[in-house]
Structure 1
Amino acid sequence: MTFYPRTVLIFVLFIATSMVAQEQQKLPLVYNVSFCDKGIEIDGKIDSTWEQADWSSSFVDIEGNVKPAPYLETKFKMLWGEAELYLLAWLEETHIWATLKNHDDIVYRDNDFEVFIDPDGDTHNYMEIEVNAFNTILDLFLPKPYREGGPLQMNWTAENLRTAIGLLGTINQPNDTDSAWIVEMALPFSSIGTIPSPGDHWRINFSRVHYDLDVLNGVYSKKKDSADRVLPEYNWVWSPQGIINMHYPEKWGYVFFSHDHEPMNSEHPSDARARLVLYDMYYHQRAYFRKNGSYDTIIPEQIDINGKTTRLIVEKMEPTAYTVKIQWENQYIHLQQDGKIWTTDL
């Protein structure tokens, strides 16, 4: 391989800088979901079954603490059973509003609640479910994130999904003040395509899209600025993305499945930081490819993760494709040019 001192210096400097950034960056949030051995009636009500589940932390701005905290609270609970994943979400709201009523309408054009699930955590083949206060569902599937071309598959349906909305107030009635709306959901594992085992973890995140409203002629409408443009929506999430884009699955939270009726109190997987470090290289390579039309073939032989030096092994390096891996504890973590990340045993 030809040696290019300046290129090596640039890449090594990038890796060193990214290590500092990773040390400062918080890991995604963790939620421990308890097992429920009886079915849940999906009716939009918070019944006694939900008492065994903990509330999540309150949602934050999608960009994290660089933006103001949301002025309305959003939080969730989760449980799981033999056949379904259960979700309960609480959305504080003084003016409950919705317009869209047909399945697969573009629901985020209303105020909505959104669920993103990547069971194996490889950032590919994940699903998104959106719901508004009319209980209108948009469900879709992406083989890859939008940044890698998707494509969006709107014909995918979460078969046998059960959802209900609870209203603590009235919908589309500007003359009163509401309190909240509740989303309750039972998502069959058969529609996800896999069943978790106790101790497994999935990558999941939740988002709330919220528009400020005006009342015109007794009807809600999205608030506009002085140039008659609709004000940008708020994007409030459980685990902050650091970017106004939910389709960065590597930034989603970790949901651990408990062995029993009590949460596991699990913390992050041991490779959580290592994955973020590998993704720093992925972001660098994407930027390099956009500028040069090929990937940077000069790769450092070692990288530092939390003060631990590990060898970076190049499995494939071509102008338009690459695969690298690192050894982390008893496994290899692999990453390829389209952002797919996976592990193999040693």
Structure 2
Amino acid sequence: TIVGAFAASPAAAAAAAAASSPFDPHWARYPRQFSAPYTPIPVAITGDINKLQWQSIPWSEPFDEIRGADDAPSGTRPPASCSTRIKMCWDDDYLYIAALIESDREVLAEFTERNSPIFQKDSDFEVFVDPGGSCHAYKELELNANNVVWNLMLDRPYGDGGSEHSGRVAKPGDAQYYDVNGLKSATKILQGKVNDSTPNSKVVWSVEIALSHKDTLNNHPWASTPTTGSH
């Protein structure tokens, strides 16, 4: 939040920059933040990301290659023609997410059954929610352009011996089974078509999601639903 502005001499500005420079490498690696406002009107999930509730919320910066500029091999980062941006808001029952995904590469969407391993083949949009900030019992949602979803809960990080809990690896009643009840999602193809291997064909698609607080807070007794003024 910008709380004020001031003018300073070049010497003062240089001194301020020098004073903060030791921390620059750390802040450069700090995850980007997005402040999600409260919405008094529930969002109807249709895949239309131009509806009234979204119009006043700014887009995030475009997402980067997950490995980052320092670790991604040369030439593997997405070009400017490939972009993913999001918006978020929330109410007393849901966290709402809108995404706009643009690509000049083939968008694969072949899985059609819920809880299929879409990450293994399809182009997908993924959301990770860790309401307790513990990396334990965090929730993950993936969906492809056909609005086929896969929900899972990870009991702890894989590096700590964690394992997937989902309807993909277990059946209802099994200890490894996990699914959600309040999820709402929709996708819409805005330009082009999926599964089209024509070189340089442009595909633009939107995603709209409502994540139930009851689902995301499951197995997090120390976490609580958002309150007015929280982000």
Gaps spanning 5+ residues in structure 2: where? 1-21, 167-176, 218-223
| 1:247-283 deviation digits (Å, cap 9, x = unpaired) | xxxxxxxxxx2xxxxxxxxxxxxxxxxxxxxxxxxxx
Q: Distance in 1 between matches of 2:212 and 2:204?
A: 26
Instruction: List aligned pairs for 1:66-77, cutoff 5 A.
Output: 66=70, 67=72, 69-71=77-79, 72-77=82-87
1:50 aligns with 2:80: no
User: Among 160, 180, 186, which residue is 2:204 paired with?
Assistant: 180
User: By percentage of residues, which structure has more strand?
Assistant: 1
Instruction: List aligned pairs for 1:220-299, cutoff 5 A.
Output: 257=231
1:97 aligns with 2:98: no
Could you say which residue in structure 1 is the equivalent of 2:136?
124
Could you say which residue in structure 2 is the equivalent of 1:196?
226
Could you say which residue in structure 2 is the equivalent of 1:6?
none
Identity fraction in percent:
30
1:156 aligns with 2:182: no
Could you say which residue in structure 1 is the equivalent of 2:4?
none
Q: Distance in 1 between matches of 2:195 and 2:65?
A: 25
RMSD of aligned Cα (Å): 2.1
How far 1:150 moved relative to its partner?
1.2
Larger Cα Rg: Structure 1 or Structure 2?
Answer: 1
Q: Distance in 1 between matches of 2:125 and 2:88?
A: 15
User: Among 75, 95, 105, which residue is 1:85 paired with?
Assistant: 95
How far 1:144 moved relative to its partner?
0.7
| 1:23-73 deviation digits (Å, cap 9, x = unpaired) | 623222111001111111111112222012121111111121223542211
Q: Distance in 2 between matches of 1:144 and 1:188?
A: 21
How far 1:107 moved relative to its partner?
1.2
What TM-score, normalized to structure 2? 0.72
State whether residues 194 and 203 of structure 2, in contact with CA within 8 Å, keep that contact through their aligned partners in structure 1: no
Matched residue type, 2:181: E
Q: Distance in 1 between matches of 2:68 and 2:196?
A: 32
How far 1:175 moved relative to its partner?
5.6
Could you say which residue in structure 2 is the equivalent of 1:29?
32
Matched residue type, 1:59: F
| Count of matched residue positions in the alignment of Structure 1 and Structure 2 | 182
Runs of 4+ in 1 over 3 A off after TM superposition: 173-179
| 1:100-143 deviation digits (Å, cap 9, x = unpaired) | 11111111121111000101212212000000011111100012
What TM-score, normalized to structure 1? 0.49
Gaps spanning 5+ residues in structure 1: where? 1-20, 201-256, 258-346
